[in-house]
Structure 1
Amino acid sequence: MSTLTIRLPNDQHERLKALAAARGTSLNKLFEELSTKALTEFDAETRFRLRAANGDRARGLEILEKLDSIHSKRG
């Protein structure tokens, strides 16, 4: 496991400590969770962009329209 030192404004540090306390976790665990979420989102976007680059544009737009239609009915 690695150690990482980051610089944050004092008010942001205090707010993050409060968030960790509200979640009943340590500041270290909070950063681990936040970094995992960020990496998961990055990986998903990367996979999506690779598939989009190799995919059928018309079919992709068709799927997005279908999803939008479903979402607007639930809205």
Structure 2
Amino acid sequence: MSVVTLRLPEEKHLRLKQLAASRNTSVNRLFDELATTALVQHDLSVQFRAAAESGDPARGLALLDKLDAHFH
């Protein structure tokens, strides 16, 4: 596992600690979850663009449905 040092304004750090506490998790785990969410969004965006470029509208719409289901 890698170690990342991140500089944040104190107010933002405090809010992230509060958010993590409200989810009964650590700030470390919260960042891991946020990173996973960002990567899933990116991967689906790349897949959507590839499907759109290949001219397969049905596949593109299916990816949008998958993205919507994941975040709602």
Scaled by the length of structure 1, the TM-score of the pair is 0.73
Structure with the greater relative contact order (CA < 8 A, sep ≥ 6): 1 or 2?
2
Gaps of 5+ in 1: 65-75
TM-superposition CA deviations, 1:14-68 (whole Å, max 9, x none): 0000000000000000000000000000000000001101115xxx3xx86xxxx
Gaps of 5+ in 2: 62-72
Give the RMSD, CA atoms, in angstroms. 1.9
Number of aligned positions between the proteins: 60
Larger radius of gyration: 1
**1:45-64 matches, cutoff 5 A:** 45-56=45-56, 60=57
In the TM superposition, structure 1's runs of 4+ consecutive aligned residues that sit over 4 Å from their partners are none
- Structure 1 vs Structure 2: percent identity of aligned residues? 53
Scaled by the length of structure 2, the TM-score of the pair is 0.76
Following the alignment from structure 2 to structure 1, what is the Cα–Cα distance between the partners of residues 17 and 45?
Answer: 29
